[in-house]
C-alpha cells in the first residue's frame, strides 16, 4: 500500500530536549516536505526537499533541521524544542511532476512541548 509513515504519532516532551520525527515514503517520490498545522493558520511549510541531499527552507524554518540522505526518508529534527513548537506536524511527498503533482500526506504527529 502506498503510504507516508510518520513516527511518533504523539509526543509530549520538555523544553530543550532534542527530538526527531521520522518520515518515510514507499512511493519512490523525489519530493518530500514538512508542514505544521496550527488553529487559524492553516498549513505552513517548514522545509522541503526536491531530491536526495537537496533541501530548502519553507516559510517557517526557524528552530528546525532536516536531512535527506536517502530517497525514502526525510526526518524533522528539533534540536532544542520550545513551547511555540507545540503543533500538529505533517510530512508529505510528491512524484516528479512537481507543480502539478498532488501531495501525499502522513497521518500527522502531534507534538507538545512543556
Binding residues (CB under 8 A) for other proteins: these are 4, 31, 33, 35, 40-45, 48, 50, 56, 58-59, 90, 92, 98-100, 102-103, 105-108
**Torsion sign (Cα): 114, 49, 24, 37:** positive
Rounded least distance, CB 107 to other proteins, Å: 5
Nearer to other proteins, 17 or 57 (CB): 57
Rounded least distance, CB 106 to other proteins, Å: 5
**Torsion sign (Cα): 97, 46, 111, 37:** negative
CA-angle at 52, arms to 66 and 19, nearest 5°: 20
Amino acid at each position: 500500500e502506498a503510504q507516508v509513515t510518520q513516527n511518533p504519532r504523539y509526543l509530549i516532551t520538555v523544553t530543550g530536549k532534542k527530538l526527531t520525527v521520522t518520515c518515510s515514503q514507499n512511493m519512490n517520490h523525489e519530493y518530500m516536505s514538512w508542514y505544521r498545522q496550527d488553529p487559524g493558520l492553516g498549513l505552513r511549510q517548514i522545509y522541503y526537499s526536491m531530491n536526495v541531499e537537496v533541501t530548502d527552507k519553507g516559510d517557517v524554518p526557524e528552530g528546525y533541521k532536516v536531512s535527506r540522505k536517502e530517497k525514502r526518508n526525510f526526518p524533522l529534527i528539533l534540536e532544542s524544542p520550545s513551547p511555540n513548537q507545540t503543533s500538529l506536524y505533517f510530512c508529505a511527498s510528491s512524484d516528479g511532476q512537481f507543480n502539478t503533482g498532488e501531495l501525499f500526506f502522513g497521518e500527522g504527529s502531534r507534538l507538545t512541548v512543556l
